[in-house]
Chains A and B, each alone.
Chain A
Amino acid sequence: MNRETAPLLRVEGLSKHFPVRGGFFRRVTGWLKAVDDVSFQIAHGQTFGLVGESGCGKSTLGRAILRLHEPTAGRVILDGTEITALPRRALTAARRRMQIIFQDPYASLSPRRTVLQTLLEPMEVHRIGTPRTRREKVLELLHIVGMGPEVLHRYPHEFSGGQRQRIGIARALTLDPRFIVADEAVSALDVSVQSQVLNLIARLQRELGISFLFISHDLAVVQHISHQVGVMYLGRLVEIAPAEDLYRDPLHPYTRALLSAIPVPDPKRRRKRIVLQGDVPSPLAPPSGCPFRTRCPEAMPLCAERAPRLTQRHDGRAPHRVACHLY
């Protein structure tokens, strides 16, 4: 099938720079490059996992793709439509095809609206169906996320974190989107509930063929759910590879450090780990050259001079790309 090969989402050179204001009259004194020149693709029905440490720009990237933040530069093409070029009105219509699930199940539902109101709203806004069919759709969605009709008239504060997250997922599904950004969708949940929600997302992906951008700081969670994985550091993608390759053969020194830092629930395997020195530099004053060089155990003089570009690894079996002067 041709659909398998043509990507659903293409992100090209996407940047989001926030103005930094200060001094008199709150003038713009600098720019914070939260996302800087990021490109990648997501195939139909696949999940792209995005990992990186706090503040590296994962959420900003997800929101810029959906134009919840206006991108500073770059293009986003979803299913042939250039999202970044749409005027406001057309964007509203395009929102049907792309949705988002948030991290904080406590903050992502309107506290004074019932589950039914929350789930009906997207269909009302887009004038989909009749009141009858809308209600049926809501019940069907609740069934998909494993909840029954008894929850319809309850308020968010009456649910546990995992249940709220399910409601958030149901809301994202109401418009039958082709693409969903899941921003730390399971990070706030307890392990036993986390695995329930992860399985749910994996199932939706299989059964409904939705593509996901799955954002998380947890490499283990990402591995389980992703086909492709991108590693982000200080606003840039430093490595992109199919999940198996990335975990079997991580190339970028940052990816390696990240992988070795994960605590392993097995006391007999206390491995030697790469402990990084120092802290993540401020995104306001990123280092010259390679953004990772201040903490990189293998930094060379060249790294301070020139920023490495994301390039295809030389032996090039799988499409494994890395931004590092070592390769």
Chain B
Amino acid sequence: MNRSRERTSLWAKAWYKLRRDRIGMISLGVVLLYFVVALGVWLGLWGQGWSQVEGPMWAPPGPKYWLGTNIIGQDIFERALYSTRTAFDVGLVVAVLSTLLGGLMGGLAGYFSNRWADELILWLMGVLDAIPFYLFVAALAYALQGNPYAMHIAMIATFWTTTARLVRGEVIKLKQFEFVEAARAIGLPRRLILFRHILPNTFHILLVQATIVFVGAIKSEVILSFLGLGVTDGVSWGLMIAESTQEVQAGHFSNFVTASSFLFVLVMAFNLFADALQDALDPRKVSA
């Protein structure tokens, strides 16, 4: 029973819950810190010297090169900073677009469940899910020869299906709710029912799903770049790890450790944040 007199939307309540979740807030802080780093790179405040070959090869960490230099004398710290931007580039683009696509497709499939639109979308999702991811990326990268967005497109094309399935399930559930029937009784057109009454109630799924996709995209980017299928212009943690393979054999670990730690901390923080977000947004717990 909730009879509070405060004017609170469910979002405000979720934010209130999130704020009291210590781990959630710490991880959010870490994520924001990374975001500031990426923003700085975009704005040209730092990380601009990532490609300059100026130092000696394998300089040790020191006041000039904070984390040392790599095999051709580039500043590892600069490169790691710049890679943060690459990670957010990939993560944001893929998360936003695949979530939008997934939400839309899932919403349509759910609203028209058991009709041809639904069958078609389900079939498409089945096909996409059946293709091995890395093969798909390789094929696409090859087909789009040199297009720097091949990787993004491949990821969006594969990642939206999970979101769509979740949203479809939720929409089918929501469709049975009486407020949807009330909207029909009022004479609301179907388009409005879907976009105004049903989809807004899947936002919590979309938000959580977006954070999960974000992490997934960053991780995949690293692996793809490592395999040479990913980032082609610029640098990324994956590329750094790829170059470091030679260095590790020679006993120089800075490049490898830096790139993997940057990656690890971000992924970890993001995962914890996604968990906290899920808890905070769970409508059962929020509205109870």
Contacts and interface: CB of A to CB of B under 8 A. Distances in A.
B188 A112 contact: no
Interface in A158-172: 158-160, 168, 171
Which of B2, B187, B197, B201 has its CB near the most chain A CB atoms (within 10 A)?
B187
B115 interface: no
A199 interface: no
B178 A125 contact: no
Interface in A107-140: 107-113, 121-122, 125-126
A108 B179 contact: yes
Interface string B187-201: 111001000010011
Contacts of A112: 9-10, 200-201, 203
Given A112-B10, A158-B3, A107 B188 contact: no
B178 A159 contact: no
A102 B287 contact: no
A37 interface: no
A122 B178 contact: no
A150 to B, nearest CB: 9
A309 interface: no
A157 B287 contact: yes
Contacts of B29: none
A108 B186 contact: no
A262 interface: no
A285 interface: no
A158 B13 CA distance: 11
B2 A109 contact: no
A171 B9 contact: no
A307 B186 CA distance: 38
Contacts of B6: 158
B115 to A, nearest CB: 13
A113 B198 CA distance: 11
A92 B10 contact: no
A157 B185 contact: no
B130 interface: no
B4 A126 contact: no
Interface string B238-257: 00000000000000000000
Contacts of B182: 100, 102, 108-109, 168, 171
A15 interface: no
A68 B187 contact: no
B7 interface: yes
Nearest to A63: B181
Given A155-B8, A158-B2, A158-B8, A107 B177 contact: yes
A264 interface: no
Contacts of A108: 177-179, 182
Contact of B187 (A93, A102, A160): A93
Contact of A111 (B3, B181, B184, B201): B201
Contacts of B7: 153-155, 158
B127 interface: no
A121 B186 contact: yes
Q: Which 10 A-B pairs have the closest CB atoms?
A: A95-B187, A108-B178, A102-B178, A92-B187, A122-B186, A110-B179, A157-B287, A107-B178, A100-B185, A107-B177
Given A99-B186, A155-B7, A157-B2, 4 more contacts: A107-B178, A111-B10, A111-B201, A153-B7
Interface of A: 63, 66, 68, 91-93, 95-96, 98-100, 102-104, 107-113, 121-122, 125-126, 153-155, 157-160, 168, 171, 175
